[in-house]
Amino acid sequence: MKLVWTAALSLLALNAAQAQTSRLTVLGPLYGGVSSYSAGINDSGQVAGYSMGSNGYTAAVWPGNGGVVSLGTLGGTSSFSYAINNAGQVVGASNIADNSGAHAILYGPWTVSSNSPGSDLGTLGGSGSSAQAINNAGQVVGWSSTSGNATIHATLWSNGGITDLGSLGGNPSLSFSHAFGINDKGQVVGDSNAYPIVLDHATLWSNGHITDLGTLGGANSTALSINNNGQVAGEAQTSVGAYHAFLWSNGAIIDLGTLGGANSYAHAINNAGEVVGTSDTSLGERAFIESEGAGMVDLNNFLDADSKNAGWVLTDAMGINNQGQVTGEATNTLTNQQRAYVLSLPATAAVPEPESYALAFVGLAVIFGAVRRSTNTQPGSGHLSVNAS
């Protein structure tokens, strides 16, 4: 009987863990703003993104203390921030003073007590550029138009210099490439084509080599994030033309599926291999998380009753840090507000399901009935850019 009670208590403890919810923090816009959007989060929980107001968009940081700080522009009307590293350095893009184009911008390091003005990172000779990611060594990647605005190439800014990362081949003056992610080893991911072939393929730049990561049987793909283990997250077309989130790991591309709809898009991956993004569902777009091999899960499953009753629906997940905090975009079904958010996931990897407690009592009945059975419960684009032309 002691063994039976031990098993019963263990089952209840498991389901109590599964029933844990997360803490949702809604990130408001700048003063006078209408909407807020997040793009990246560091391991301290600081969020980079932008706020929309009557005069355009402004790069912003949410420091985690309940406030929001404007990062300013390069003299133009709008700016966007897309990523923040653990030192508080923020990157993005801003219109220049005459609003003739947008340039990649580096802010920081940003702290609660001081805010350095943004620095123009320049271009590859063209009129525009955009910074999309920064690693903890301060290396920045994105894209830039080339001389004469002939094309756009993936770009690395490091130690005060700027490097054209090139493309998968073809005519270099006509082939396109973009960089969207960089890890602490300096490995870069994005997409590229090889003109005259105009299809974009997910691309890895590593140790001087450029690798085509392929697709899921369709024409196009793009890679948006890479962790320090070299795992890559992105989206790729399938043989029927739909886009599915993918994980590229150990040389293989893995279809992560959807939440029941046609398409899904992965936006970020942390060092634990947890992938976040958005997926079509029968109810519209929903934010998801996928832990390697565990299956895609709707992040709205983690919301507590108060958040749900307040009308919040998580539609997209744009970033995840190594503490399990997710940032993205949410819509309020009662007020029609668009807001950035941070969702702090519970420590356990178990995913709450509506039937958790019912399953617990079924399990107890099975235990006390001395019936032995086996159960298997399965837990559960991309960055915006400023026109460079």
Tell me the pLDDT tens digit for each residue of 39-69: 999 999 999 999 999 889 999 999 988 899 9
The helix (H) or strand (E) run that includes residue 356 is: helix 356-368
Residue 113: the pLDDT is 57
Residue at 55 is within a domain = yes
Residue 115: the pLDDT is 61
Regions of the chain short of the pLDDT cut 50: 1-18, 349-389
CB atoms within 10 A of CB 132: 29
Residue 271: the pLDDT is 98
Residue 355: the pLDDT is 38
Give me the number of domains the chain comprises: 1
Residue at 66 is within a domain = yes
DSSP per-residue codes, 45-103: --EEEEEEETTEEEEEEE-SSS--EE---BEEEEEEEEEE-TT--EEEEEEETTSS-EE
Tally the residues of the chain: 389
The C-alpha angle with vertex 208 and arms to 204 and 211, in degrees rounded to 5, equals 30
Residue 346: the pLDDT is 85
SS3 content of the chain, % helix, strand, coil (to 5): 10, 50, 40
Beta bridge partners of 181: 189
Residue at 283 is within a domain = no
Residue at 22 is within a domain = no
Closest CA to 290 of 302, 273, 271, 304: 273
Residue at 78 is within a domain = yes
Domain extent, residue 71, equals: 34-120
Residue at 311 is within a domain = no
Where does residue 262 rank: exposed (0-12), middle (13-18), buried (19+ CB within 10 A)? middle
Residue at 150 is within a domain = no
pLDDT digits (tens, 9 = 90+) for 219-276: 999 999 999 999 999 999 999 999 999 999 999 999 999 999 999 999 999 999 999 9
Residue at 87 is within a domain = yes
